[in-house]
C-alpha cells in the first residue's frame, strides 16, 4: 500500500488517497471510514478528505450494509473499469482544459514571424491532443474483451498496417512510382492464404 501511495502522486492523486484506494481495492469487503483510518494510521479527517477525492474520481462507491448505520466504501470489482475511469478522468482533467485553451489561442489574429511560428506550433499540439482525445473516446467504447484482444495483438498491429500498405502494390503488380514488380510478369495478387500467413 505504501507503493500505491507513491504511485498515486504520479497519477495525479496524493499519497494518502493512493493508500486508501489500495486498501479498498485489496479488501475482501467494503470498509467504513473508521476502519480505514485504523488500518492505515490516518486521522479521520484525512480519510474523509481522501474518500471525497476518490469519489470525485469515481474510484470508490458508497454502500450501506444491513444492520450497520456507518457508510462503507469499496472500489469497483472490475480492474478494467478502474483503469478506464483513471484514463477518462485524467483526460477530462488534463487534456480537455488544454484543448480548450489552445482552441481559444488559435482564434487570435496572427501578425509577425514569431506569432506565425507560435501559431503553427500550437496548431500542431492541438491536432495531436485532438487525435489522442478521439482515440481515447474510441477505446472507451470497446468492450473489455475487445480491448484485451487489441492489446494482445501487440506488434502484429504494426505488421498488419505494413501489409495494408503493401496490398495495393501487390494487387496492381507495380512497385512504388510505377516500378515493375520485382517478382516478374507472372506475379499474381496475394491470395487469402498468403495474407493470413503474412499477418501471423
| DSSP collapsed to 3 states, 124-148 | HHHHHHHHHHHHHHHHHHCCHHHHH
Choosing among 3.60.21.10, 2.40.50.220, 3.40.50.300, 1.10.10.10, the CATH entry for 2-74 is 1.10.10.10
User: How do beta strands 61-64 and 71-74 pair?
Assistant: antiparallel
Q: Is the pLDDT of residue 13 over 80?
A: no
Q: pLDDT tens for residues 24-53?
A: 999 999 999 999 999 999 999 999 999 999
Would you say 44 and 35 are in contact if contact means Cβ atoms under 8 Å apart?
no
Prediction pTM value: 0.68
CA 187 to centroid of chain Cα atoms? 44
Distance CA 136, CA 140 (A): 6
**What DSSP state is assigned to residue 78?**
-
173 — pLDDT class (breaks 50, 70, 90): low
Distance CA 6, CA 14 (A): 8
Cell representation of residue 101: 485553451
Mean pLDDT, range 178-191, rounded to an integer: 49
| Angle at the Cα of 67 from the Cα atoms of 21 and 49, rounded to 5 degrees | 30
170 — pLDDT class (breaks 50, 70, 90): low
Q: pLDDT tens for residues 78-135?
A: 999 998 998 898 899 989 999 999 999 999 988 888 889 999 999 999 999 999 999 9
Distance CA 99, CA 135 (A): 15
Cell representation of residue 168: 495495393
Cell representation of residue 175: 512497385
Amino acid at each position: 500500500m505504501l507503493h500505491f501511495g507513491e504511485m498515486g502522486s504520479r497519477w495525479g492523486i496524493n499519497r494518502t488517497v493512493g493508500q486508501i484506494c489500495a486498501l479498498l481495492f485489496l479488501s475482501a469487503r467494503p470498509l467504513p471510514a473508521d476502519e480505514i483510518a485504523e488500518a492505515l494510521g490516518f486521522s479521520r479527517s484525512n480519510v474523509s478528505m481522501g474518500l471525497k477525492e476518490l469519489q470525485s474520481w469515481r474510484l470508490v462507491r458508497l454502500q450501506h450494509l444491513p444492520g450497520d448505520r456507518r457508510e462503507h466504501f469499496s472500489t469497483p470489482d472490475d480492474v478494467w473499469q478502474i483503469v478506464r475511469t483513471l484514463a477518462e478522468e485524467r483526460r477530462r482533467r488534463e487534456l480537455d482544459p488544454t484543448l480548450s485553451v489552445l482552441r481559444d489561442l488559435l482564434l487570435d489574429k496572427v501578425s509577425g514571424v514569431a506569432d506565425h511560428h507560435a501559431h503553427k506550433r500550437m496548431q500542431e499540439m492541438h491536432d495531436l491532443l485532438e487525435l489522442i482525445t478521439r482515440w481515447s473516446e474510441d477505446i472507451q467504447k470497446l468492450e473489455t474483451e475487445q480491448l484485451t484482444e487489441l492489446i494482445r495483438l501487440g506488434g502484429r498491429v504494426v505488421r498488419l498496417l505494413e501489409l495494408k500498405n503493401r496490398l495495393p502494390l501487390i494487387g496492381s503488380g507495380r512497385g512504388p512510382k510505377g516500378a515493375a514488380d520485382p517478382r516478374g510478369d507472372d506475379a499474381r495478387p496475394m491470395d487469402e492464404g498468403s495474407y493470413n500467413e503474412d499477418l501471423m
